[in-house]
Amino acid sequence: MNNPSSDKDAEVLVVGAGPTGLLTAGELARRGVRVRIVEKHAVRQPYSKALVVQARTLEAMDIIGLADEFTCRGYPAPGLNIGLGGASPVSIEMHDLRTRFPYLLVLPQQETEEILDEHLQAHGVVVERSRALVSISQGDNSVRAGIRGADGREETISVPYLVACDGAHSAVRHALGLSFDGQDYEAIVFLADVKLNTAFNRSRIANFTSPRGFVSILPFLGDFARIFAVDFAKQNRPPTDPLTLPDLQDTVDAVVPFSVALRDPRWITRFRSPSRQVASNRRNRVFLAGDAAHAHSPAGGQGMNTGLQDAFNLGWKLAMVLRGQAPDTLLDSFDAERHPVATMAQRETDLMFRSFLVRNRVIKTMRDLALRTLVPLKPVRRKLAQDLSGIGIGYSFTKQSSAARRRENRRGLRAGDRVPDLELWSTSRPIVRLYELLRRGTYAFITYASLGRLGTDREKLREVLARVSDDNNGAVTPWVVLDEGLPQEAGVCAPVLVDFKGEFSRRLGAGHGSALLIRPDGYLAFHVRRFDPNEIITSIEAWVSSNASMRGQNKPRS
């Protein structure tokens, strides 16, 4: 057990036990890192700020092994509708996404936190509640955090790394003196979880607009639904004023073109939506993730998902550096990859939120015409679905991926691209999914061979596999994929799978001689097109180094 009462030599301290913090700690613990997680609140918050788990987040949960638990507790909404006055709504559909999860999973944040907390406890880590961060300092090899308990006593925790997941009002960010650039919107937003009496179709998320403002309705799996609204006629009261059910009912009646009776509110409030981001997700040995690094409008359901994907990106990198399986420069890629993604999410949610705050009649008419004209177009619908779902996120823009892409063939999957889940065959199991291979927590090194051409290249392939197995300090797991035939026909000392559906060649652009290094988070590190041992080992060493600094010797990088 990674029990805080007996295990004081943690390697990572996570501050904040919301979804981002729980997943960060869970991913570290799953990989054998000694982690502590502290949370200032005595109990989990009863309100679910986030409601939608996007497809890319579910793919991350699939790699971890939690996707089934998520999908069992929520329900799949096939898309969302945008109502334009009295006209028929415009629909954004998720059906065509090339993923196992072509939908929006409606699941209250509280349920997400329960799943992630159970996962964390299964790896021997418990959240230390009623413990708040009060100070922080950094040295060459450690971070020192002052933590105050409910009884007023303080403890100093010294760790190699600290991850701030403590929300938009982050105590870590304040202690470091980091600015949270941006602003809060002037518009007052209404938010409530209520029961509905209506003929409303509960299978999807719906948005409605009128001259009074806009209303979004997100049905839960049970009796409740989330109401998210802006009423232009009720912007003269401060966000601290209580919101009443009759007030909200009046807004819904003024915007929604059919009867929706609200009752039994369990949460009802008003607030101003933020649009803020830190300049960098890293300060030496401290990393910021989730709302501590970026906070934006709930439009589009991106906030929690962006945070969870931050956690998924950072967890494996910290673990590999601490285990000496990767150089500490790997940690630079967290900010290089995730900061631009958060910027993009902020820009898109800002655009979406602002579009529904438009009050000028001419501009509203133009907006509605653009939505009716453009959204039904297949390329536009596909782009919107990819952006909302996170499936379209890739890291080809980074320096490391760009360098690899310049050496790669333009056909097929390239460095920085998301690797889709594929079905393979083995003699021990009828179906082996690619994402199941990634559950090992290592890089997956996959060589692709055509059985008809393997004879002349078998010795080169054996040399490649031997060198990869010898040189990677356990960070890389090699696999061979044949285009057809039986695994034993490969004649190599590595696990062999068969591309019985032809997906490796069709969807990844792999051909005989291809060697792909897939990162633990399901993105492609590189794609070499021939069995060249020297080129392959050089490419792997850009990510993995058996001579990486061991635990406690890593030098901080800002």
What is the reported pLDDT for 445?
95
What is the reported pLDDT for 302?
87
Specify the DSSP class assigned to residue 227.
E
Q: List Cβ neighbours of 294 (8 Å cut-off, separation of 6 or more).
A: 276, 277, 278, 306, 342, 343, 345, 346
Q: Across all residues in the chain, what is the average pLDDT? A: 88
pLDDT in tens, 326-335: 999 999 999 9
- The answer to whether 230 and 189 are in contact (CB under 8 A) is yes
Q: Per-residue confidence at 555, pLDDT binned at 50, 70, 90?
A: very low
Q: Per-residue confidence at 110, pLDDT binned at 50, 70, 90?
A: very high
pLDDT at 462 over 50: yes
* Averaged pLDDT for residues 333-348: 94
CA atoms within 13 A on the CB side of 387: 18
* Averaged pLDDT for residues 255-283: 91
- The answer to whether 319 and 548 are in contact (CB under 8 A) is no
pLDDT at 3 over 70: no
What is the reported pLDDT for 551?
30
Q: Per-residue confidence at 7, pLDDT binned at 50, 70, 90?
A: very low
Specify the DSSP class assigned to residue 244.
P
Closest to 13 measured CA to CA, from 137, 164, 129:
164
Q: Which two tokens stand for residue 260?
A: 């929706």
Cα→Cα distances 172→149, 283, 344, 391, Å: 16, 11, 24, 31
258 vs 359, higher pLDDT: 258
Residue 395, SS3? Answer: coil
Phi/psi for 210 (5° steps) reads: -160, 175
Q: Per-residue confidence at 323, pLDDT binned at 50, 70, 90?
A: very high
Question: What percent of the chain has pLDDT above 70?
Answer: 94
pLDDT in tens, 363-393: 777 877 777 777 778 888 888 889 889 999 9
pLDDT at 394 over 90: yes
C-alpha span between 52 and 104 (Å, rounded): 6
Q: Which of 302-306, 307-311, 453-457 has the highest mean pLDDT?
A: 307-311
C-alpha span between 334 and 277 (Å, rounded): 15
What is the reported pLDDT for 87?
61
Q: Per-residue confidence at 84, pLDDT binned at 50, 70, 90?
A: low
pLDDT at 8 over 70: no
Please return the burial class of 377, using the count of CB atoms within 10 Å of its CB with bins 0-12, 13-18 and 19+: exposed
C-alpha span between 207 and 219 (Å, rounded): 12
Closest to 58 measured CA to CA, from 15, 97, 96:
97
150 vs 80, higher pLDDT: 150
C-alpha span between 16 and 342 (Å, rounded): 19
Q: Which strands form 90-93's sheet, in the order they lie side by side?
A: 90-93, 79-84, 205-210, 213-219, 224-231, 181-197, 261-277, 294-295
Question: What percent of the chain has pLDDT above 90?
Answer: 58
pLDDT at 121 over 80: yes
